[in-house]
C-alpha cells in the first residue's frame, strides 16, 4: 500500500473525509489511465477480448464502457 500513499498521502490518513476524497481522486486517475490504455490497445490491434482478459473483466463490460470510441 505504500505506492498509494505516495500518490495521495491522505489515502492513509486518520481523517475519514480526507481519505474518502483521496479515494475519489485516485478513482478518477485510474479511470483516466484505463481509458488511455484501452484506446492505445485498440489502436495497436488488440481485440476487446484481449483487453478484457488483461483487465480482468468480461468482453461485454469493456466493450460497453469503451466500444463507442471505436
What's the Cα-to-Cα distance from 56 to each of 6, 12, 39, rounded to whole Å?
Answer: 25, 26, 17
All cell numbers assigned to 9: 498521502
Mean pLDDT of 25-37: 95
Query: What is the pLDDT, as a whole number, of residue 70?
Result: 60
Query: What is the pLDDT, as a whole number, of residue 2?
Result: 56
Dihedral sign from CA coordinates of 31, 54, 67, 70: positive
Query: What is the pLDDT, as a whole number, of residue 10?
Result: 72
Query: What is the pLDDT, as a whole number, of residue 58?
Result: 97
List, in order, residues 6 or more apart from 12 with CB less than 8 Å away: 1, 4, 5, 19
State pTM to two decimals.
0.78
Amino acid at each position: 500500500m505504500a505506492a498509494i500513499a505516495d500518490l495521495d498521502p491522505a489515502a492513509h490518513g486518520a481523517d475519514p473525509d480526507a481519505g474518502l476524497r483521496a479515494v475519489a481522486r485516485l478513482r478518477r486517475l485510474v479511470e483516466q489511465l484505463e481509458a488511455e490504455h484501452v484506446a492505445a490497445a485498440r489502436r495497436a490491434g488488440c481485440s476487446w477480448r484481449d483487453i478484457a482478459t488483461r483487465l480482468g473483466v468480461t468482453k461485454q463490460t469493456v466493450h460497453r464502457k469503451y466500444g463507442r470510441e471505436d
